[in-house]
């Protein structure tokens, strides 16, 4: 039966290409998620998630939510801010900008510390901001800014947050279960992801991994949301083993299968595979003469962000559709100041898939009469 599922190569930044065994894991007998059997599965799932980021199970826990990855940002920011506290967002891209919007929607007090999207945050400025604003109670940033593929120095930002007694939350949605993460070493109090990205499972399940003591402390913080309150969901899990409200049942079965496959592949081997895929992407792009937005040494190794050719025949939609019809999905960029597209190394794919993609991609460019090597008129391309 599994052989009949068409295999698409998704080069978008999630959902990712999944294995047939993960797809099929969703086809199970109907079960009421209030059964003990289901609660037991979720307990194991929660502790496995802590294991993936090497958290001490006494100190760290994980809390599941039904929703896409953005729900984690919403939950962390609205739940972990004490009365009178302020949030510092270290912002160099689209996903940290989303966190700023969450603050705005809840009316939370925040500082939006913006840096150019193609540069790393200036840690001296981060420290100065913390020193001058003693009401900052929470620092938030994004690990791999999926909009550009830049990797932020979370260990250093975390150390600064802690030096000034702030909680550190990191959006690790596009690194967790791909790039190895160690909660303690990287000074992370809370990290987060959704099942459809690094885990290579299905959409609809998101999770926050973080410090138990801080979640328990937050019980007395202002309650700003009902469905998206971290303590409420945690407390329910601890007392009953269940999600407060209906969980995404079949998605959870798929996530459990995906985690089994994660541990079978191994943290190191999996990261090596993503690196192989990413290198094949970068080589393929370089061969065609494409230019990337982020310099090599700053890349997270998972998202290649590429400038559009300066060629009148370039038409992203047409190239996309040609590739899509042949089973390959490419994705537009998320950089406000420049036209870009992205190719990502997520999912159950390997370098041969990328080689096959570039055969099709080259055909698409030829079909559109885009010049190869790719043309850029203005010499040095930059975001300015
Ligand atoms: C994918 C992603 C999210 C979640 O986005 P959704 O649209 O809610 O799935 C959040 N942060 C980062 C860094 C991501 O890559």
- How remote is the CA of residue 69 from the centroid of ligand 1, in Å? 5
Give the pLDDT mean for 223-227: 98
pLDDT tens digits for range 305-340:
999 999 999 999 999 999 999 999 999 988 878 899
- Kindly tell me if the per-residue pLDDT of 4 is higher than 90: no
Q: Where are the alpha helices (DSSP H) in the chain?
A: 20-24, 36-52, 70-79, 94-106, 123-132, 154-163, 212-217, 230-240, 249-265, 267-288, 316-325, 351-367
pLDDT band at residue 99, thresholds of 50, 70 and 90? very high
pLDDT band at residue 90, thresholds of 50, 70 and 90? very high
- Kindly tell me if the per-residue pLDDT of 3 is higher than 90: no
For residue 144, the ligand 1 atom closest to its alpha carbon is: 13
- Kindly tell me if the per-residue pLDDT of 218 is higher than 60: yes
- How remote is the CA of residue 304 from the centroid of ligand 1, in Å? 16
For residue 172, the ligand 1 atom closest to its alpha carbon is: 13
For residue 203, the ligand 1 atom closest to its alpha carbon is: 9
Q: Whose CA is nearest to atom 3 of ligand 1?
A: 69
Instruction: Please report the pLDDT score of residue 337 as a whole number.
Output: 83
Which of 68, 93, 207 to probe ligand 1 with, by most ligand atoms within 8 A of CB? Answer: 68
Pocket of ligand 1 (CB under 6 A): 13-14, 68-70, 95, 142, 146, 171, 173-174, 194
Mean per-residue pLDDT over the chain, rounded: 96
pLDDT tens digits for range 147-201:
999 999 999 999 999 999 999 999 999 999 999 999 999 999 999 999 999 999 9
Sheet holding 60-66: strands in order across?
A: 60-66, 205-211, 190-194, 167-171, 136-142, 86-91, 110-114
- Kindly tell me if the per-residue pLDDT of 2 is higher than 90: no
281 compared with 2, residue with greater pLDDT? 281
- How remote is the CA of residue 169 from the centroid of ligand 1, in Å? 15
For the whole model, what pTM was predicted?
Answer: 0.96
CA 302, chain centre distance (Å): 10
Which token pair is 352?
A: 């041969």
Q: Whose CA is nearest to atom 15 of ligand 1?
A: 174
- How remote is the CA of residue 235 from the centroid of ligand 1, in Å? 25
Q: Whose CA is nearest to atom 4 of ligand 1?
A: 69
Which one, of 248, 236, 231, 207, lies nearest residue 78 by Cα?
Answer: 231
pLDDT band at residue 382, thresholds of 50, 70 and 90? low
- Kindly tell me if the per-residue pLDDT of 378 is higher than 90: no
- How remote is the CA of residue 37 from the centroid of ligand 1, in Å? 31
- How remote is the CA of residue 170 from the centroid of ligand 1, in Å? 12
For residue 146, the ligand 1 atom closest to its alpha carbon is: 15
Instruction: Please report the pLDDT score of residue 384 as a whole number.
Output: 41
Q: Which residues contact 265 (CB under 8 A, 6 or more apart)?
A: 273
Give the percent of the chain with pLDDT over 90: 95
């Amino acid at each position: 039966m599994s052989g009949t599922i068409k295999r698409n190569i998704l080069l978008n930044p999630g959902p990712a290409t999944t294995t047939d065994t993960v797809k099929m894991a969703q086809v199970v007998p109907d079960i009421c998620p209030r059964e003990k059997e289901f609660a037991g599965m979720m307990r194991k799932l929660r502790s496995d998630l802590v294991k993936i980021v090497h958290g001490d199970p006494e100190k760290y826990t994980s809390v599941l939510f039904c929703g896409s990855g953005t729900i984690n940002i919403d939950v962390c920011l609205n739940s972990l801010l004490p009365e009178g506290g302020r949030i510092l967002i270290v912002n160099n891209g689209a996903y940290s900008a989303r966190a700023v919007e969450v603050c705005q929607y809840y009316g939370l007090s925040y500082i939006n510390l913006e840096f150019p999207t193609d540069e790393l945050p200036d840690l001296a400025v981060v420290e100065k901001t913390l020193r001058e604003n003693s009401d900052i109670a929470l620092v938030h940033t994004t690990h791999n800014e999926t909009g550009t593929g830049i990797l932020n120095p979370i260990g250093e930002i975390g150390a600064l947050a802690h030096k000034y007694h702030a909680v550190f939350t990191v959006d690790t949605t596009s690194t967790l279960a791909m790039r190895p993460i160690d909660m303690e070493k990287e000074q992370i109090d809370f990290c987060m992801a959704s099942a459809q990205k690094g885990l290579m499972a299905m959409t609809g399940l998101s999770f926050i991994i973080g410090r138990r003591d801080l979640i328990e402390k937050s019980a007395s913080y202002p309650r700003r949301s009902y469905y998206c309150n971290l303590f409420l969901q945690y407390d329910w899990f601890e007392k009953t083993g269940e999600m407060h409200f209906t969980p995404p049942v079949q998605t959870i079965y798929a996530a459990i299968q995906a985690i089994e496959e994660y541990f079978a592949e191994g943290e190191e081997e999996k990261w090596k595979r993503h690196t192989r895929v990413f290198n094949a992407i970068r080589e393929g792009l370089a061969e065609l003469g494409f230019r990337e937005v982020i310099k090599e040494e700053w890349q997270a190794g998972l998202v290649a962000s590429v400038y559009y050719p300066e060629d009148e025949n370039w038409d992203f939609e047409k190239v996309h559709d040609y590739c899509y019809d042949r089973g390959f999905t490419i994705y537009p960029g998320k950089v406000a100041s420049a036209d870009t597209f992205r190719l990502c190394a997520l999912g159950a794919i390997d370098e041969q898939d990328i080689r096959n993609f570039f055969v099709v991609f080259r055909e698409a460019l030829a079909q559109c009469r885009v010049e190869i090597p790719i043309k850029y008129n203005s010499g040095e391309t930059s975001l300015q």
